[in-house]
Structure 1
């Protein structure tokens, strides 16, 4: 069970160099032939993304400096490293937030199927919301109302083959109520996303989550710097694995959590679990896309879209320490309780005892986000509750040859290998 942490480098939030957008001779020197910039002299201040905190850059001693109670044979060596400033989510991604991602994937697939049907002339009837109303934007409107750039993209099949020529029309609402389906074709398309009637349990109508595939493209800068193909295309099934509540606990009855934890409103503020590393990366791409789309719709000056990603292991450890040096825990002290005997994180208090005393702030399973004190940087649950994915591979030797400046290992040899998780979880013992 893992947590997703979104992160964006503050050092990279610079204004995009404009190659157009308004008339002028910005590419010419002035009349005296001097190279004097004509760009605005206003300073740039990075806007803090919603739900994130700014982590100032600095150096720290990476690795376990205190006593190793577990006698781990793969204990990392101590190493002084420096990391740049960045933004980081103040808390775990919740079930409610991840469901936004699921709903986006569901709706985009449904709209694509409807748009394809509209392009093929397969719609019938005059009902509001029928398939033809969901046609691609390129199939709607008069040619005179489209800019020359839009007409060029459509004539070329789009910038990336056909993607921009097949932009979805999100202004037309989807109706998932079976009693409100406008026609048979609309019903056929939407029902194709559900489990077939002959495979349903107690005739319960549920989405076929195996069809919730998120496709995205990303650029491998490391490969590009070596002259290799840098453009990557990935398709990921994004629905979390709810069976972790059963598979991670042998001879235990956790069926209620399997049935309800992800979708029930009672757990909306609980951290999402059962998310793979690939799903976590897909979620960060969705977050990046949502921000980029918002910037594109804005009438204000546009800056380069922020890229959200998982933190590297060094960034995560630096942020977890909260500005403290050689501290055993994010809260600084050597004890697991405060002066009122309340636990400072959600973990397993004792052997076989998951909830020693509810009055002390312990939970039997995961806890809602922001229930425990934050660290010096304003981050919650950097120890306990749910374990957290990082961008870094799990390989003990990387500590020996990685850089001391923003250490991170990423090359073709580390694709599809084990990834590092940090922080521990509610089912781990606090030492």
Structure 2
């Protein structure tokens, strides 16, 4: 009996001490909140612009060349967010490609422990056997570097990453881009919400896992045009430094989303290393975010700069598109131009019309405006490989260097299939602003 009584006292003490720990050491008996949490202060990510939240009329304000009138003009509200001030450039996308290349080289070919994070003294290795790449070491000792103590040994080990046999040209070592694949995972929150009361579902049922080849399709410069001498663009647009600050093209919707997932991971790693909380995930803008940002706070205008004209008072064209009957060079570029060309709109965003059209997160449905909500509206659908092609359409906005002026209008919607790449479609990212709208703090 004494033993049982002693056991009850021990259990009671454990329960009480456990309750005390929930209070974070608080002994006043009052609710004070969890202590020791890291503070968070919203900062504008590099090369992004703060877009204040607001309400606008979403939809057609001028002519519709198809006369379909499928889009209903609708008043909607968009919460504040950050958006890339320019389209993602070749050099920024190449950082993603190189990260994937180096990761594969280190993990699958080099097997050199110096490239991995080493546990601190007295700290055991991860019990699962997982290892994390030490990117600071990689920066100082690049796997593909031609100099340094590891250069000769690495070159020998990395031969499997290059084209082999008859695929080689002039016996050059060129990366086999088919090997550059990125694996990532995302939560499908909408689907999880739809099945939230289904007890047969597991968490893993709502995790999307995808593997994407990351290198852009450079052949789009020939695929998109019949009998056009665009071979120089195939050879140099993504690889030559002259085009480093031009918008990346030849990327599918899935590749653009993979870039966003990688960018989120990059931000999380850097912020955690500094003891800071990261931003919310980077994503492609949804359709309402894109149109709201393109309008730049203006009401009822046709173009990001206002309008209704596509030239300024001096007769200069205000975007890169296909003027007249096809005078491509009249606006300053036969193809794409630098991502900071022309004047930004009132939000500070460049080329929200023209240069390259841009992928959005939203799935395309002709009647989406009739059934989406009026607060942060979007229609998303996660298409499966077995789905019909009509379900794989994604909204494309903004018009491009090869489009006529109609497609540059703020409200014009078009679509492309998520697994297709084009020489005139690029993208930019957004991330939600956390906290109270900045305009309310002034």
TM range (shorter): 0.7 to 0.9
Do residues 265 (structure 1) and 255 (structure 2) align? no
Do residues 429 (structure 1) and 401 (structure 2) align? no
In structure 1, the partner of 2:121 is 145
Distance between the aligned counterparts of 1:258 and 1:41, measured in 2? 51
In structure 1, the partner of 2:250 is 274
Distance between the aligned counterparts of 1:337 and 1:410, measured in 2? 36
Do residues 320 (structure 1) and 315 (structure 2) align? no
CA pair 246-429 structure 1, distance change in 2 beyond 3 A? same
Distance between the aligned counterparts of 1:72 and 1:326, measured in 2? 19
Check the 8 A contact 1:223/1:411 in 2, yes or no. Answer: no
Do residues 189 (structure 1) and 184 (structure 2) align? no
In structure 2, the partner of 1:208 is 176
Indicate the larger mover: 47-56 or 176-185.
176-185
TM-score normalised per structure 1:
0.79
- Aligned mate of 1:390, from 360, 365, 381: 360
CA pair 258-354 structure 1, distance change in 2 beyond 3 A? same
Indicate the larger mover: 41-50 or 302-311.
41-50
Do residues 306 (structure 1) and 280 (structure 2) align? yes
Check the 8 A contact 2:287/2:361 in 1, yes or no. Answer: yes
The CA deviation string for residues 238-257 of structure 1, in whole angstroms up to 9 with x for no partner, is 00111110011101101101
Q: CA deviation at 1:264?
A: 0.3
CA pair 347-257 structure 1, distance change in 2 beyond 3 A? same
Unaligned 5+ segments in structure 2 are: 1-19, 407-442
The CA deviation string for residues 66-92 of structure 1, in whole angstroms up to 9 with x for no partner, is 122x22426411111111100000011
Aligned length: 371
The CA deviation string for residues 231-288 of structure 1, in whole angstroms up to 9 with x for no partner, is 2221100001111100111011011011100010100111001110000001111111
Check the 8 A contact 2:24/2:34 in 1, yes or no. Answer: no
SS at match of 2:328: coil
Distance between the aligned counterparts of 1:42 and 1:166, measured in 2? 26
Q: CA deviation at 1:397?
A: 2.2
Distance between the aligned counterparts of 2:134 and 2:371, measured in 1? 50
Distance between the aligned counterparts of 1:174 and 1:85, measured in 2? 39
Do residues 168 (structure 1) and 133 (structure 2) align? yes
Check the 8 A contact 1:175/1:181 in 2, yes or no. Answer: no
Do residues 58 (structure 1) and 54 (structure 2) align? yes
The CA deviation string for residues 112-156 of structure 1, in whole angstroms up to 9 with x for no partner, is 0245xx4xxxxxxxxxxxx4544x44xx56xx7143xx54xx22x
Query: CA RMSD, aligned part only?
Result: 2.7
In structure 2, the partner of 1:334 is 308
In structure 2, the partner of 1:101 is 96
Check the 8 A contact 1:291/1:306 in 2, yes or no. Answer: no
Check the 8 A contact 2:143/2:151 in 1, yes or no. Answer: no
Distance between the aligned counterparts of 2:168 and 2:39, measured in 1? 59
In structure 1, the partner of 2:417 is none
In structure 2, the partner of 1:12 is none
Check the 8 A contact 1:90/1:378 in 2, yes or no. Answer: yes
SS at match of 2:45: coil
Q: CA deviation at 1:169?
A: 3.3
Distance between the aligned counterparts of 1:402 and 1:166, measured in 2? 44
Distance between the aligned counterparts of 2:101 and 2:309, measured in 1? 46
Q: CA deviation at 1:38?
A: 6.3
Q: CA deviation at 1:410?
A: 2.5
CA pair 184-45 structure 1, distance change in 2 beyond 3 A? closer
Distance between the aligned counterparts of 1:319 and 1:422, measured in 2? 12
CA pair 77-133 structure 1, distance change in 2 beyond 3 A? same
SS at match of 2:186: strand
SS at match of 1:390: strand
In structure 2, the partner of 1:405 is 375
Distance between the aligned counterparts of 1:339 and 1:184, measured in 2? 61
Indicate the larger mover: 97-106 or 199-208.
199-208
In structure 1, the partner of 2:437 is none
- Aligned mate of 1:83, from 58, 64, 78: 78
Check the 8 A contact 2:76/2:374 in 1, yes or no. Answer: yes
- Aligned mate of 1:199, from 167, 175, 178: 167
SS at match of 1:166: coil
The CA deviation string for residues 3-43 of structure 1, in whole angstroms up to 9 with x for no partner, is xxxxxxxxxxxxxxxxxxxxx95625844422233659999
Indicate the larger mover: 258-267 or 30-39.
30-39
In structure 1, the partner of 2:414 is none
Do residues 370 (structure 1) and 340 (structure 2) align? yes
